[in-house]
Structure 1
């Protein structure tokens, strides 16, 4: 479109100048191509180190192809699997940053805000140029001043959180202010963590639009909701001329693909970036089937596996895991690398929870591993439709 416009303007300008006897020609088209070639020559997206990055959907924001999940960083009083030692956290963050993984995903409720605080501390500790990093966070869940508290447990103290949960205008504005305070900087992508059935959708979308206009967040995204809910919110924003979501962060892995026909198809069709969480299915895809439920502190928690619909593995699940193991042996990489490479082959950019610096190698290897169409089909064909995970009920 730009090329055609530039060509028409060039011809018009040249015709006017030549009709007046001028020998000078203003070649706007050449200027346009020179501008485009600058971007193309400066950023060769298929070559190192730029192959580590991609656009987030149809937006202009560039993100890492794999994203560092910061839910694993915080306080053990919040959850046993969390890495609490700050030096270890900063080592992982710095190694990720230096390796080119410069998109970090956190949320206000992770360790009740302490995950965000750690991201902010990391920026200051290493004097990170804010322009070189992309920060995602989320709002919806209540956040306590105590990192180990559960403000959603229904106790009497829960009354204090009555306007600090959900997606009302007040809840969103307060949550954003607190996140900015904890991070010590603005938010690149503000995501709504869940769908709020108790607040008018128009109120939510206008509030998010106003947050973007305030400069406290630059883009908005959504997470973990059904297709019709996400589409409804997008349509409301479009109808009113408000800011629309540029991303969807949903649960997606080789063991849960039921969103492909609706939510994921809609996102691909409309240019919404897909940044799935738990691409390794809480570690189940990172170990042979015989060890799948004996992987990490988090995945050994039966309630969390039930939450993901993985408390009991089906025959289909076991076959998928076996095929991941087979391809890992073929390519001489880890199972985590294969499962992550499959996500990338689907045009999605996964959020990986990493609790040891050495595991960053698996993430980076996934970017280099290009699965063939036959290998993608081999991994997918054993899939069996699952019962809807508890998080969507």
Structure 2
């Protein structure tokens, strides 16, 4: 395993993060494909064995049960000080007008609830899951600064927003001497490269670590395009992200498959290798629900794509419409 500092912070993370969205009670929340505790815990243990020390979850994943599974597995399999736990806040965990967002009230309440479920005194990286259009950014950034000062959070990060919003939040933090975001978890892979326009250059310039989600485009870059699974059948987001550009996206997936075939490796390894070679990227967030997923991901660290292969992988790309992450 390789390790790197998360942006310009002092936090060292593995070059791959295990995304825990797929582990939780399948009867709770909006992820019916989730693996229950016994199955999910096996992947967390395997990740630790492979040297992965970076684990990403969110309060909303299976309504908190993902956090519970991750916390219990870490308590059994590792020392707390040896792992980096990231969780997120924004989505509604209950009904009512106060349930959602990044108000001071919501951040304080949801952080305490996440800590209880994770069974820990602190979160290494606390991520705002989305931009809150209804709460002043000053309120959000001060609340995040306060939970850092209280020792409940070590670092803060952001996810899936426009670059101007991220810049505004950082400016507000600087203006008041509050804690800055050290990471951006955004949607970035070979068939959605819109973040190369503004967000990635900004992060590189400002020393912000990038931890892309959906590095394999929800499996589109890892298997035959038309393959079906419980995830594809129960995940309407796939059509919203990739439906409008399917023709070009299929061409990118074919290029990945061609390079993989020549090298004699699975396509997922090639798609991840390309992402790991992008200068701004610190650690893609990878999912694992089947045997071999994690070992393939780790093996991507040893794949060095040449200029010809990179050109072949990127040539079919076409611009994608902006997706509002709400």
* TM-score, scaled to structure 1: 0.79
Tell me which residue corresponds to 1:82.
34
User: How far has the Cα of 1:87 moved from its partner?
Assistant: 2.1
1:302 Cα offset (Å): 6.0
State the distance in 2 between where 1:95 and 1:284 align.
Answer: 24
Please show how residues 1-393 of structure 1 align to structure 2 within 5 Å.
Answer: 49=1, 52-77=2-27, 78=29, 79-84=31-36, 86-126=37-77, 128-144=78-94, 158-159=95-96, 162-185=97-120, 186-288=122-224, 292-301=225-234, 303-308=236-241, 310-311=242-243, 313-347=245-279, 348=281, 349-391=283-325
- Classify 1:296/1:63 alpha carbon distance in 2 versus 1 (closer, same or farther; 3 Å): farther
Higher helix share: 1
SS at match of 2:35: coil
Deviations 1:296-329 (A, max 9, x none): 3223346221232x13553321211111001111
Deviations 1:272-306 (A, max 9, x none): 00001001111111123xxx142432233462212
SS of 1:222 mapped into structure 2: strand
Matches of 2:245 and 2:296, distance apart in 1: 24
- Residue aligned with 1:237, SS: helix
Question: Gaps spanning 5+ residues in structure 1: where?
Answer: 1-48, 145-157
Number of equivalenced pairs:
321
Counterpart Cα distance in 1 of 2:232 and 2:179 = 37
Q: Deviations over 1:146-173 (max 9, x none)?
A: xxxxxxxxxxxx32xx223100001001
CA contact (8 A) 2:123 2:154 kept: yes
- Once the two structures are TM-superposed, the CA of residue 80 in structure 1 deviates from its matched residue by 2.0
Q: Provide the aligned C-alpha RMSD in A.
A: 1.4
Other structure's SS at 1:286 match: coil
Checking the alignment, whether the CA contact within 8 Å between 1:283 and 1:296 is kept in structure 2 is no
Query: Is there any run of 5+ residues in structure 2 with no aligned partner, and where?
Result: none
CA distance in 1, matches of 2:257, 2:123: 38
Provide the C-alpha distance between the structure 2 equivalents of 1:217 and 1:143, rounded to a whole number of angstroms.
20
Bigger RCO (CA 8 Å, 6+ sep): 2
Is the 8 Å Cα contact of residues 337 and 365 (structure 1) preserved in structure 2? yes
Is residue 129–residue 158 contact of structure 2 (8 Å, CA) maintained in 1?
A: yes
Q: Please say if residues 245 and 320 of structure 2, whose CA atoms lie closer than 8 Å, have aligned partners that are also in contact.
A: no
Deviation at 1:100, TM superposition (A): 0.5
